[in-house]
Structures are given as structure tokens and as C-alpha cells.
Homo-oligomer: A and B are copies of this chain.
Amino acid sequence: MVSIVSVAKAAGVSNKTVSRVINGEPYVTEQTRERVEKAIRDLGYIPNMAARLIRSSRSNTFGIITDYVSTTPYSVDIVRGIQDWANANGKTILIANTGGSSEREVEIWKMFQSHRIDGVLYVTMYRRIVDPETGDVSIPTVMINCRPQTRELLPSIEPDDYQGARDLTQYLLERGHRRIGYIRLNPILLGAELRLEAFRRTTSEFGLTENDLSISLGMDGPVGAENNYVFAAATEMLKQDDRPTAIMSGNDEMAIQIYIAAMALGLRIPQDVSIVGFDDFRTVTMALKPELTTAALPYYDLGREGAKWLNDLIAGEKIYPGGRVVSCKLVERSSAAFRPH
């Protein structure tokens, strides 16, 4: 492999001078610089990061440790956000998935340390509370889409499920809906509770009572292998005489089954029932006809902001103590309309 020494030899200068050219340091004549640059091009020299790291003990590498994110279709946008920021700022990224195993997680932290990463982005597939198995060493860490048990311990950044569900509820209310169904997400998920809570509070503030609401469980059990009642629940809900004129779905994926249930009963969307989802999982929201109105989880921003924050943390700047929350934008498409009269 061609090294700085061979370049130096080719250009007839010392290796330190080559180093200066590479790193854009001053005190090199234009003439020398050009000779060196030519040699670099001719030999196809590419700096060796490992050697550089050994000297500087700053790897310019971030580690991403996730449960399943980068191997699961849902929250890939977090990773995309991180990568985009990293590219733009000359950072390299190491990704590893625990697959849910905590032995594996311990190994990964070791592996990261052996690569002398500068910091870790701890990312989860769905919003939850976890304590990273960091070992006793302290490495700058930002948690994305999750937060630690012991509140203010690590910086964290999460989507605002509450606000998203509130906006969605208001949206339906503003369109005249007064009997609204809600099919719950798996209650294990942190977002599930918040979304439902927002739905309850917002409708109640608006003057609706529990009687106007029709809330049922859509799925439960361990995440990824849950029991699925969505189709049955939606069917039952829509078969009632005083059926809801709008249904909020725990997430977009569940909305597929609600669509099918509604259609099987001969109901048209949105003329007979309005349906809204949550997440803005494009594969679903765009494939459904009519396309699904939903609240977008700000995954991309979570990733970008998290990376930026980690960078600040490493630089020793701005150490906010606790957690931040990013709002969910309502994406209006055509699955919800004014209440039929």
C-alpha cells in the first residue's frame, strides 16, 4: 500500500511536508505543494485513517448501536438522518445491531471502544425506556427514540407522540366528527400510551364523553410477534348502529386492516368513515387508496439532530442535561373528510 513516505520520495520532499500538504497546513510554497499533489495523484495515495488515529486519538467515528433499526423497515430514516449529517461533516459511522440480546450489546460496546469511536448514538426501533449496557466506561452518548430509566442521566431525543395525536384528534374534531373510534397500538410501546392519552384528553377538552368514544385494543403481546386483533376490532366497531364516523389508528400499518374491514362492510373511505393513521410509513400511507392522512414521526430529524448533538457533546459544548422532543407533523392526504350528515 502506498504511504506518505513513497509520496515524499516521489516528490523529493520530506514526509512531514507531504503531511502538511494533505492537511492544508501553512508554510508550504505553492511550487512544493503542486509537486506533492502531483505525486499524490500519480501514486493514488490515500491517507491511512488507522495510522492517523493512532497519533491523534480522535477517530472521527460515531458508533450507532441499535436493537433492530437498521435491519427493520420502520425507523430506517433515523439512520438516514445520522448518515447524512455524518457525510456532511466528515464523520465515519459504525453500525451494530444487538438484535435484542444484551450479551451482544456488551460485545458491541467493547468493539466500539476497540475502534476508539468518539461517541455513541443509541437508537431504538420503537420509542421506549432502556438503560444502555455501556459498562463502566463513560463514552459520550446520545439516545435517539428512547430514554434512560434514570431520567437526566443521558441526553435523549424523542418524537412527540402526544402532540402528534393531539393534532390528529383536533383535525377530526374540526371536521365535525363527534363519534370517534380509536384502535390501540400495542400497549407495551411508550408511544401507544401517549397517543391514546392525547386522544382522550383532547376529545374530553372538546366536550366529548367516553360514550362518544369507542376504544379497542388492536394488538398485544411481545413486539414483533404480537397477537393481532385489528381487523376484528375494526369490523366490530364499524358494525355498530351508532358506528364512529372516524377512526384513529394506532399506526399506519394497522390502518391497512381498518381499510379492509371498512370496505368489506361496504363502507366508503372517506365518505362513510374517515380514517387517520400515525407514523407516516410511506410504504403504507402512499399505497393505500385513498392515501392515508397521518402524523409523521420525525425520524430523519431525530437522526440528524441526534448526530449534531453528539458532536457538540464530544466537543465539550452545550451539555443540556435531559431529554428533547421533536414534533410530529400532520400530513394531510385524503383518507379523512368532513363528517357525513
Q: How many whole Å from A88's CB to the nearest CB in chain B?
A: 11
A73 an interface residue at 8 Å Cβ cutoff?
yes
Q: Give bound CA distance, A1 to B57, whole Å.
A: 9
Q: How many whole Å from A114's CB to the nearest CB in chain B?
A: 5
A74 an interface residue at 8 Å Cβ cutoff?
yes
Q: Which residues of B contact A114 (CB under 8 A)?
A: 46-49
A130 an interface residue at 8 Å Cβ cutoff?
no
Q: Give bound CA distance, A135 to B77, whole Å.
A: 29
User: Which of the residues B77, B111, B259, B289 comes within 8 Å of A92, measured between beta carbons?
Assistant: B111
Q: How many whole Å from A96's CB to the nearest CB in chain B?
A: 7
Q: Which of A216-246 contact B (CB under 8 A)?
A: 228, 231
Q: Which residues of B contact A59 (CB under 8 A)?
A: 50
A326 an interface residue at 8 Å Cβ cutoff?
no
* A 94-108 to B, binary, CB cutoff 8 A, 1 in contact else 0: 111100000010000
Which size bracket describes the interface of A in this complex? 35 or more
Q: A115-B50, A289-B257 are in contact. Are A97 and B73 (CB under 8 A)?
A: no
Interface pairs A-B: 8 shortest CB-CB? A73-B73, A71-B80, A263-B263, A50-B50, A50-B53, A256-B287, A231-B289, A46-B113
Docked-complex contact A253 and B115, CB < 8 angstroms: no
> Can you list 15 contacts pairing A with B, beta carbon distance less than 8 Å?
A48-B54, A48-B116, A50-B51, A54-B54, A70-B79, A71-B76, A71-B79, A71-B80, A71-B83, A93-B95, A93-B96, A228-B286, A256-B284, A283-B283, A284-B284
Q: How many whole Å from A341's CB to the nearest CB in chain B?
A: 23
Docked-complex contact B50 and A54, CB < 8 angstroms: yes
Q: Which of A305-336 contact B (CB under 8 A)?
A: none
Q: Which of A281-296 contact B (CB under 8 A)?
A: 281-284, 286-289
A260 an interface residue at 8 Å Cβ cutoff?
yes
User: Which of the residues B57, B95, B284 comes within 8 Å of A95, measured between beta carbons?
Assistant: B95
A44 an interface residue at 8 Å Cβ cutoff?
yes
Q: Which residues of B contact A30 (CB under 8 A)?
A: none
Q: Which of A248-269 contact B (CB under 8 A)?
A: 253-254, 256-257, 259-261, 263-264, 266, 268
Q: A54-B50, A76-B76 are in contact. Are A253 and B92 (CB under 8 A)?
A: no
Q: How many whole Å from A65's CB to the nearest CB in chain B?
A: 12
Docked-complex contact A54 and B57, CB < 8 angstroms: no
Q: A54-B54, A260-B288 are in contact. Are A110 and B46 (CB under 8 A)?
A: yes
Docked-complex contact A289 and B260, CB < 8 angstroms: yes
Q: Which residues of B contact A260 (CB under 8 A)?
A: 259-260, 263, 288-289
Closest-by-CB residue of B relative to A77 is B71
Docked-complex contact A92 and B79, CB < 8 angstroms: no
Q: A50-B115, A71-B79, A114-B47 are in contact. Are A287 and B92 (CB under 8 A)?
A: no
